[in-house]
A and B are shown apart, each in its own frame.
Chain A
Amino acid sequence: MLLQFIQWLETTPVSVAFHESIWSFPIVESVHVLGLCLFLGMAVLTDLRLMGIIFKRVPLSEVMGYVLPWTWAGAVIMVVSGMILFLNTPVRYYTNIFLRVKFCMLFLAVVNAWVFHSGIYRKIAKWDRSIPTPTYAKVAGAVSLLMWGGVVVAGRMIAYNWFDKR
Chain B
Amino acid sequence: MLLAFFKWCEASALGKGISGSVFLFPVVEAVHLLALAVIGGAVLIVDMRLAGLGLKKESAAAVAREAEPWLLGSLSVMLISGFMLMCSEAMRCYYNDAFWIKMYSLFGAILFTFTIRRRVAAGATAPGTSAKAILVALISVLLWSGVGLGGRGIGFY
Report yes or no: A55 in contact with B66, Cβ–Cβ below 8 A.
yes
User: In the assembled complex, how far is the CB of residue A13 from the closest CB belonging to chain B, in whole angstroms?
Assistant: 24
Known: A37-B44, A44-B40. 19 other contacts (CB 8 A): A29-B156, A33-B36, A36-B40, A37-B41, A38-B40, A41-B38, A41-B40, A41-B44, A44-B38, A45-B45, A54-B67, A58-B55, A58-B57, A58-B58, A66-B54, A70-B48, A152-B37, A153-B34, A156-B26
Report yes or no: A37 in contact with B40, Cβ–Cβ below 8 A.
yes
In the assembled complex, B152 has its CB within 8 A of some CB on chain A: yes
Contacts of A37 in B (CB 8 A): 36-37, 39-41, 43-44, 144, 148
Report yes or no: A38 in contact with B44, Cβ–Cβ below 8 A.
yes
Report yes or no: A30 in contact with B38, Cβ–Cβ below 8 A.
no
Q: Which of B138-157 contact A (CB under 8 A)?
A: 144-145, 148-149, 151-153, 156
Contacts of A30 in B (CB 8 A): 148-149, 152-153
In the assembled complex, B22 has its CB within 8 A of some CB on chain A: yes
19 A-B pairs (CB sep. < 8 Å): A29-B156, A33-B152, A34-B148, A37-B41, A37-B144, A38-B40, A41-B38, A44-B41, A48-B70, A55-B58, A58-B57, A63-B55, A66-B55, A67-B54, A70-B48, A152-B34, A153-B34, A156-B30, A157-B26
In the assembled complex, B135 has its CB within 8 A of some CB on chain A: no
- By a beta-carbon cutoff of 8 Å, the part of chain A in contact with chain B is 25-26, 29-30, 33-34, 36-38, 40-45, 48, 54-55, 57-58, 62-63, 66-67, 70, 148-149, 152-153, 156-157, 160, 162
Contacts of A40 in B (CB 8 A): 36-37, 40-41
CB-based nearest A residue for B74 = A44
Contacts of B58 in A (CB 8 A): 55, 58
Cα A37 to Cα B152 in complex, Å, equals 13
Q: How many A-B residue pairs have CB under 8 A?
A: 94
Interface digits, B42-58 against A, CB 8 Å rule (1 contact, 0 not)? 11110010000011011
- Looking at chain A's contact residues, the main secondary structure is helix
Cα A25 to Cα B152 in complex, Å, equals 11
Cα A34 to Cα B149 in complex, Å, equals 8
Report yes or no: B33 in contact with A156, Cβ–Cβ below 8 A.
yes
Cα A149 to Cα B33 in complex, Å, equals 9
User: In the assembled complex, how far is the CB of residue A34 from the closest CB belonging to chain B, in whole angstroms?
Assistant: 6
Contacts of A152 in B (CB 8 A): 30, 33-34, 37
Contacts of A41 in B (CB 8 A): 37-45
Cα A30 to Cα B157 in complex, Å, equals 13
A26 touching B156 in the complex, CB below 8 Å, given contacts A152-B33, A157-B30:
yes
User: In the assembled complex, how far is the CB of residue B149 from the closest CB belonging to chain A, in whole angstroms?
Assistant: 5
